């Protein structure tokens, strides 16, 4: 008997089919081989119950179908993520306010924050803090209003230009009796890019740092 070698086209087709198979297929085929071997070597005087074979085959088939459905679901979610990213490109170049007190500083740029207090304060002190928690700059804010905007020019306390990166505004507010007031601080910046994060989550590039799209609280022109 002569066995013909497969053509290159057939080989390429076989390789492509192997690559597109779900990860569970090799295990399922191995199970079938083991099952066949078991049937061939069983004791003919005490054969195994065929109902057990059928039950095992059905279970493995259901698991393989479930894994195929999971793969299809992941593909659908990936496409939805791409569509969401495409729709969010309209945010590029627009100013956003985030629920996080951190924002980014680019080379030669500035950073801004929006802040608010439950009621008027007697004194408000602001501290710009870097990633390591080091105070880079300080400022005294006007306590006449319960909300406002603070813009930092990127200069440190010694007059040098701070390095690009993420910075946080920390507010300390006190009333006339010296009691502390809880302050809400939101980072503000321009969106420069849209990114796909882990699990398909969308991220916004703002001032050289990335934030989750779910952190948006305001978008302006």
Per-residue pLDDT tens digits for 152-205: 999 998 889 999 999 999 999 999 999 999 999 999 999 998 888 777 778 889
Length of the chain: 221
Residue 5 is predicted with a pLDDT of: 39
Predicted confidence at residue 12, as pLDDT, reads 38
Percent of the chain with pLDDT over 70: 65
Which residues partner with 165 through β-bridges?
Answer: 105
Query: Which pLDDT belongs to residue 9?
Result: 39
- Range 101-118 average pLDDT: 93
Distance of alpha carbon 35 from alpha carbon 48, whole angstroms: 11
Question: What CA–CA distance (Å, rounded) separates 129 from 141?
Answer: 16
In this prediction the pTM is: 0.62
- For CA atoms 91, 96, 101, 106, the dihedral sign is positive
Cα 138 from Cα 170, distance rounded (Å): 9
- Return the SS3 of 148: strand
CB atoms within 10 A of CB 53: 13
Interhelix angle 50-88/25-40, nearest 10 degrees: 180
DSSP summary character for residue 146: S
Tell me whether strands 123-129 and 111-116 are parallel, antiparallel or unpaired: unpaired
SS3 77: helix
Summarised one tens digit per residue, pLDDT across range 2-58 is: 334 334 333 333 334 434 444 444 566 766 776 777 777 776 666 666 666 667 666
């Amino acid at each position: 008997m002569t066995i013909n070698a497969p053509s290159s086209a057939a080989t390429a087709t076989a390789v492509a089919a192997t690559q597109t198979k779900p990860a569970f297929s090799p295990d399922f085929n191995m199970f079938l081989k083991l099952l066949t071997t078991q049937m061939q070597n069983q004791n003919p005087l005490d054969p195994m119950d065929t109902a057990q074979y059928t039950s095992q085959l059905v279970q493995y088939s259901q698991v393989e179908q479930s894994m195929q459905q999971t793969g299809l679901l992941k593909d659908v979610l990936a496409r939805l993520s791409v569509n969401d990213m495409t729709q969010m490109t309209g945010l590029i170049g627009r100013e956003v306010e985030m629920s996080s007190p951190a924002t980014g500083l680019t080379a030669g740029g500035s950073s801004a924050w929006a802040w608010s207090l439950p009621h008027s304060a007697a004194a408000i002190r602001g501290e710009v803090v870097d990633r390591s928690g080091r105070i880079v700059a300080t400022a005294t804010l006007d306590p006449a209003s319960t909300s406002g905007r603070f813009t930092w020019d990127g200069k440190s306390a010694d007059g040098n230009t701070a390095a690009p990166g993420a910075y946080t505004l920390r507010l300390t507010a006190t009333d006339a009796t010296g009691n502390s007031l809880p302050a809400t601080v939101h980072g503000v910046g321009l969106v420069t890019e849209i990114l796909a994060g882990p699990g398909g989550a969308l991220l916004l590039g703002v001032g050289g740092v990335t934030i989750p799209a779910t952190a948006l609280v305001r978008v302006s022109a």
